[in-house]
Structure 1
Amino acid sequence: MTSFRSDPYLWLHLAGLAAVPLWLFVAWLGIAAGYPIAPTLLEIILLVSVGIVPILVMQWKRPFSPFGLLLFSLQPSQLSLAQRKMLQRLQSNRTHFLTGLGVIPMIWIIGQLYTLAPLAQGATPIPNHVVGLGVAAIALLAANLFWQVPLSVVGVLLTRPSQFDATEPYPVAAISAAFTSPGFPVQKILPVASSAQIAAPPTPGSTAPEPEASETDAIAIPTPDDPPDPSETPLASVETAVEASAFVEPAAAVAEPAEDESTTDEMTE
């Protein structure tokens, strides 16, 4: 079973990586607001504790389920066998290693944002540094979410087909407690064509079935090109016979009065 790599939910979450630069830009504006109220190292530790650690713990303990979109998530009973195997792979050591490794570049980026903060100090709309730290923490939390979830998806996509086939599907009853699924549970989000709706192409040797003959088809309608049937009486001969009978009957009717006149003559004599 290698079709798990074509699951649209996985690729949608991979596309979520495009949102990471936007959230980092918002965090940069927050860090650049006002003047620092604490040493830079202390603020970095604060932002890492609020914006990075919660997502890392979630991915280790209760991973984010990729089978959802915006405010909706698929019900556990609606997940296919392959999708339940993907959930099992999200709990693997490879996924934990990737998510843990992904923390390192995020911490480095926070340090770079502090280095570049003076460039945005005059352009940030945030009034002071305290509010800016709150905005930066929330933005880093969102950026880390859009960073860690695709990393876990990459861990699933890197699974060998034979290893994926041997994976046990996650129990349906335990999915809600083991995975984070924000949003309203629904039965369907993305339209998926079923196999019954896809018509199989005809084989080269097959022919289309002939339609059944109806009662009207059983009546043969002669055409001008059809030769006359010798067993049938021609229409012209029928008309001749009718005309002949019409001439014979009056003759017989005239002959009868002639016989009556001869009998009357004999009686008079």
Structure 2
Amino acid sequence: MNPLVELAGAGYAYEDGPAVLSGVHFGIVEGRALVLLGRNGSGKTTLMRLLSGGLRPGSGSLRLDGAVVTHDRAGLTRLRRAVQLVVQDPDDQLFAASVEQDVSFGPMNMGLEPGEVRGRVDSALAALDITALRDRPTHLLSYGQRKRAAIAGAVAMAPRVLILDEPTAGLDPDGQERLLDVLAGLRAAGTTVVMATHDVDLAVRWADDAAVLTPTGVRVGPAAELLSDPALLASAGLRQAWSPTVTAHLRAHGLLAPDAAGPRTPEALAALG
């Protein structure tokens, strides 16, 4: 499948510093949940900013639908209508007096008619289950509510690709599950979701594909395969995931057929009896 967004031989170095990324090749495929993993300082934030147009590759290129993205106004406008990035800390993204004003900012700046702006805001608030908060001042929101409001602002842009930096960080278990339900709804509605996380168990459970950043480069492939590789995870400073470890033990003791899918959650393990 042809990727919607693709980095082709991309590299980037900050001023007066060594290369953070070099020769990166991978794409975001429509309908596939992609997870980005790596230790702090591995280049995940740089990678997300390259994909969303916040940074311009120092080498190689960024492509949208196969065409090289130009970093002029027209090129970046085209990219940002297709790709939206939500940063880790919602306080770095929220700025308006109320939730509705914040969520409407992007669509209004696209020059949309007032009726379409209202429709997009209504849909985004409903998708994030925060319609009741539309008039709430953003500074009076809980942390989880601020996370949802920040994501709603990106969703209102109707992107084809939504990139989330550590969206579950700082949320309690119930908040994490509610957010994952929201992301499932966005995917079902046609948005391709990319998530950066340190939570390998979450990645195994949630993702179709993975991009693992190591000191020697970026490994890309099916999440179930890459995240079952202890050597790869160690090189990326990540612990082994619960699910592949349990699956290996079950197979070693004859409790799971070699070709059977292993449990991805504790509930699935309990169901095996």
TM-score of the aligned structures, taking structure 1 as reference length: 0.20
More helix by share: 1
More strand by share: 2
Higher CA-based Rg: 1
TM-score of the aligned structures, taking structure 2 as reference length: 0.20
